[in-house]
């Protein structure tokens, strides 16, 4: 059975009281972490997850918790709750959004006034208006989140641009620049850069995969939800499903379906058929 075991990869963006699309409130995030804790789940590091894909099956009831983009609310609201419940998370950074500056207040129960953590629509608007520093993590905050081994940080490209839409004729050159800049930025500020990459807005093609591998990325995270991350699975096509702003029990049911060696493949095949998707897994 262990050779068939899959590790569900959870995809978050925001943990913020603002709620709304692709945001989870702190109350729901607390309930979700509590469910994981109560049911004996373990959150893996990327290294542990990579070992699982390479053929060393992970412990039963394992998940990988991921956050895309690197928003301020990951530090203000998600980090304290991850610490409280003893879970580890992975944050994929859009490196051009990260600024210098002192760490702001996090929701650690000290009674400090917390910075604003707006919903995704406002965050997107601020990035477009050149105000990414207002809603993204700072390097000082990243250092704090790394220091207690609760969070690790990897590439989500440098600018999060869909070059296939913006400039199709030069998209490959642009993606090479994106990945090279992102790697250089992580190396400069964190002292290292891994082989884990999350595609911006989930888009990739064969050219992008080749470019990513050429510059040193081999574990590639998608937004494709309907597949299983088993030992021996392709590390260039890691499946993730979005966690909704819902209860721990509701999230737990989705995890149990994803992890099941019988129900999971049947559910994935049905969902792919409904949506007309044809990828393997």
Of 82, 43, 39, 98, the closest CA to residue 65 belongs to 43
pLDDT in the model for residue 183 = 98
pLDDT value at 99 more than 90: yes
Instruction: State mean pLDDT over 258-273.
Output: 91
pLDDT value at 279 more than 60: no
Rounded to whole angstroms, the maximal C-alpha distance in the chain is 52
Lowest-pLDDT range of 47-51, 110-114, 225-229:
110-114
Mean pLDDT of the chain: 95
Rounded to two decimals, the pTM is 0.96
Tokens of 200: 């911006």
DSSP letter string, 53-100: HTT-PPPSSEEEEEEEE-BHHIIIIIHHHHHHHT--EEEEE-GGG-B-
pLDDT in the model for residue 20 = 81
First to last CA, the chain: 17
Q: What is the DSSP letter of 113?
A: P
pLDDT value at 129 more than 70: yes
pLDDT tens-place string over residues 131-153? 999 999 999 999 999 999 999 99
pLDDT in the model for residue 57 = 82
Instruction: State mean pLDDT over 210-214.
Output: 98
Alpha-carbon distance of 163 to 174, in angstroms, equals 7
pLDDT in the model for residue 21 = 83
Tokens of 98: 């990260």
pLDDT more than 90, % of the chain = 90
Alpha-carbon distance of 98 to 114, in angstroms, equals 19
Alpha-carbon distance of 74 to 207, in angstroms, equals 32
pLDDT more than 70, % of the chain = 97
Of 258, 233, 268, 267, the closest CA to residue 41 belongs to 258
Q: How far is CA 80 from the centre of its chain?
A: 17
Q: Spell out the alpha helix ranges (H) of the chain.
A: 26-38, 46-53, 72-73, 79-85, 120-128, 132-135, 139-147, 163-166, 171-190, 206-215, 248-259, 263-275
Domains of the chain: 2-275 (3.20.20.370)
Q: Which residues contact 21 (CB under 8 A, 6 or more apart)?
A: 119, 120, 121
pLDDT tens-place string over residues 54-83? 999 899 999 999 999 999 999 999 999 999
pLDDT tens-place string over residues 220-239? 999 999 999 999 999 999 99
Instruction: State mean pLDDT over 87-93.
Output: 98
pLDDT tens-place string over residues 157-200? 999 999 999 999 999 999 999 999 999 999 999 999 999 999 99
């Amino acid at each position: 059975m262990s050779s068939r075991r899959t590790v569900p990869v959870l995809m978050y963006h925001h943990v913020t009281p603002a709620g709304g699309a692709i945001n989870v409130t702190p109350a729901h995030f607390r309930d979700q972490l509590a469910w994981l804790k109560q049911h004996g789940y373990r959150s893996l590091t990327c290294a542990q997850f990579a070992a699982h894909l390479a053929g060393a099956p992970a412990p039963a009831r394992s998940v990988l918790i991921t956050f895309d983009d690197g928003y301020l609310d990951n530090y203000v609201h998600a980090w304290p709750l991850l610490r409280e419940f003893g879970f580890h998370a992975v944050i994929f950074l859009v490196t051009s959004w990260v600024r210098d500056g002192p760490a702001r207040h996090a929701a650690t129960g000290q009674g400090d006034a917390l910075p604003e953590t707006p919903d995704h629509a406002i965050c997107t608007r601020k990035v477009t208006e050149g105000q990414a520093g207002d809603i993204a993590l700072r390097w000082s905050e990243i250092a704090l989140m790394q220091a207690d081994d609760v969070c690790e940080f990897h590439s989500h490209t440098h600018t999060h641009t869909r070059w296939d839409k913006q400039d199709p004729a030069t998209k490959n050159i642009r993606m090479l620049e994106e990945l090279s800049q992102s790697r250089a930025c992580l190396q400069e500020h964190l002292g290292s850069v891994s082989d884990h990459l999350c595609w911006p807005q989930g888009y990739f093609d064969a050219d992008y995969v080749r470019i990513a591998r050429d510059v040193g990325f081999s574990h590639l995270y998608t937004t494709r939800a309907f597949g299983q991350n088993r030992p021996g699975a392709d590390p260039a096509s890691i499946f993730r499903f979005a966690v909704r702003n819902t209860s721990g029990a509701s999230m737990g049911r989705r995890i149990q379906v994803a992890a099941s060696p019988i129900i999971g493949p049947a559910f994935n095949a049905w969902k792919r058929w409904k949506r007309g998707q044809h990828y393997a897994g």
